[in-house]
Structure 1
Amino acid sequence: MNRPLVGTLATVVLGAAALVGTVGTAQAAPQQTAGHPARHQVKAVDFAGTVALSNCSGSVVRMPTSQPNDPALVMSNGHCLESGMPGPGEVIVNQPSSRSFTLLDKSAGRLGTIRATKVAYATMTDTDVTLYQTGSTYAQIEQKYGIKALELATTHPAAGAGISVVSGYWKKIYTCRIDGFVPTLKEGDWTWKDSVRYTPECKTIGGTSGSPVIDTATGKVTAINNTGNEDGERCTVNNPCEVDENGNVTVHQGTNYAEETYGIPKCFGAGNKLDLNAAGCALPKPAATRN
């Protein structure tokens, strides 16, 4: 995972000739390239709805069933959690938080600040995600800033699909395609399931952790940017390895990854309330509530 940038580290990295990833799970976005010829109608992707955190990237997101007066949700990586990275098997729900997020307009200009009231859900087990509930509704954000939330897709992403990784922290968009899927991605003590592998154009870096991965055909969020192999090491922090169905391990230095988000909407009900027992919800549960 790309480690989140903290304090003076951000300044050092900004001044470096080569930017290096953040905390280990989130990665930065690739530089914009001409890319491959379009296979479909491409929707314009910009920064509207994305946010910058103190050390990571994120976005204001909505479920397909979310309503205008529901409390808005902000999504970033689990390893970007302000209280520290959740351990393997750890799941955090309904934890008070007052974290602030800088909301960006379509050109990455700063619009204002929205603030969390709690961590609705966070984990680094099977996936790498934090979902914050904010003190603002979607309607309030749209009325005050003219910004609509990004919608989470509800279908599995497709290999070869065009994607944009939008980093609010770096104010940069990286464009590439989904190269394929990894049954198990292992990094240090953490493992993630059915991860997205980018094509080489997406050279994400530290600080892009938590960036929404947007399908350029639908304009919906299909994954969350989270890691990449920096040094060619095997299964170490900042050097994830791929494990196939037969347990074979491969390492791809310079390859970057994301975690799918299509299953998250099944875990949120009316009023954007988390319901880990809802039909079809496959997010890991806190140990005390597991059956």
Structure 2
Amino acid sequence: MNRPLVGALSALLLGGATLVGAGAAPAVAAASHPQAAQAVDFAGTVALSNCSGSVVRTAKSADTDPALVLSNGHCLETGFPDAGEVIVGQSSSRSFTLLNSSGGSAGTVRASKVAYATMTDTDVSLYQLTSTYAQIQQRYGIKALQLSDSRPAQGTSIKVVSGYWKKIYSCNIDGFAYRLKEGDWTWKDSVRYTSACNTIGGTSGSPVVDATTGTVLAVNNTGNEDGARCTLNNPCEVDESGAVTVRQGINYAQQTYGITKCVTTGNKVDLSLAGCALPKP
């Protein structure tokens, strides 16, 4: 994983997306998205103490619901979850710096709990905030980013938006890894970027935004730094037959559409919902 900035040298997979920088070349629209790409900025993203994240909602979320912050499981303040571990409803008072469109601080929001987190099959954390979406918009003028409820397509033009570094990386979805293995962790159906998204430590947890629709498709989490095989900070791809491929310098994200199948009324995570495939405790 891309290491979190704090303790990066000793931390393992740190969902860090490679910074592309605000002046990165604009993404080329994918053939499947003929319409012009919309502007993607920092509004709604957050900076954690060591990672990036974003305030997100589903299509069913109400303005009066407690807001959710999306980041990586490996960005938890309590450390990396073990392989097979799933965290639900863990108390948290973590604070997040909420960013405006230009990357400046709009204010601070605070968690009440970790609604869900794991590094099994995916690398995700969802914090529930003490503020509702309506309160955040009223106080700070910031709207949440919406999670797409559909699996992204190969070739899609994307932006990886790092609240920690205040950098935006532009590239395309190159393809998908059937399994992505790093150290003790294995993730399913991971998004592989084209080489322009050379994310780094601190970009872990950054939302991967569809450059055309503005919806969140995935959460940035790792990359192969040294060309090593399946070790910390050097994930490898494993196909259906077990064949292993190492792509040095290539970075990855975990899809998020599955989260929308597991959130019910009141923005509550309900792992028993029909169609919810997130790992259970």
1:5 matches 2:5: yes
Q: Letter of the 1:140 partner, please give it.
A: Q
Counterpart of 1:17?
A: none
Which residue of 1 is the match for residue 108 of structure 2?
113
Q: CA deviation at 1:3?
A: 1.1
Distance in 1 between residues matched to 2:126 and 2:98, nearest whole Å: 16
Cα distance in 2, alignment partners of residues 85 and 37 from structure 1: 36
CA RMSD in angstroms, aligned pairs only:
1.4
TM-score, normalised to structure 2, is: 0.95
Partner of 2:17: 28
Per-residue CA distance 1:91-132 (angstroms, 9 max, x = gap): 000000000000000000001100000000000000000000
The TM-score with structure 1 as length reference comes to 0.92
In structure 2, relative to structure 1, the CA distance for the partners of 1:218 and 1:105 (3 Å cut) is same
Equivalent-residue separation in structure 2 for 1:37 and 1:63 (angstroms): 25
Shift in alpha-carbon separation, 1:64–1:84, aligned structure 2, 3 A: same
Match of 1:202 in 2: 197
1:12 alignment counterpart: none
Equivalence for 1:164 = 159
CA distance in 2 between partners of 1:140 and 1:248 (Å): 50
Equivalent residue of 1:285, what SS? coil
2:176 equivalent in structure 1: 181
CA 1:49–1:37: 2 relative to 1, 3 Å: closer
* Aligned counterpart for 2:78 among listed residues 72, 75, 83: 83
Identity %: 69
Output one character per residue of 1:192-217: Cα deviation in whole Å (capped at 9) or x when no partner: 00000000000000000000000011
Alpha-carbon distance, 1:35 to partner: 4.0
Instruction: Give the letter for the 1:26 counterpart.
Output: G
Query: 2:214 is matched with which residue?
Result: 219
Give the deviation of 1:5 after TM superposition.
Answer: 1.1
Deviation at 1:23, TM superposition (A): 3.9
The code of the aligned residue for 1:28 comes to A
SS at match of 2:139: helix
- Distance in 2 (CA, whole Å) between partners of 1:189 and 1:159 is 27
Structure 1 Cα separation of the partners of residues 10 and 175 of structure 2: 22
Query: Shift in Å at residue 21 of structure 1?
Result: 11
Extract unaligned runs of 5+ from structure 1: 10-19, 287-291
Match of 2:249 among 254, 263, 266: 254
CA contact (8 A) 2:89 2:116 kept: yes
Residue 53 of structure 1 pairs with residue 53 of structure 2: no
| CA distance in structure 1 between the partners assigned to 2:124 and 2:263 by the alignment | 14
Shift of 1:29: 3.3
Q: Count residues with an aligned counterpart.
A: 275
Distance in 1 (alpha carbons) for counterparts of 2:82 and 2:137:
36
8 Å contact kept, 1:27–1:257: no
Q: Which amino acid aligns with 1:72?
A: A
Structure-2 separation of matches of 1:92 and 1:38: 37
Give 1:34 deviation, angstroms: 3.9
CA deviation after TM superposition for structure 1 residue 27, in Å: 2.4
Q: Which amino acid aligns with 2:25?
A: T
| Unaligned ranges ≥5, structure 2 | none
Alignment match, 1:282: 277
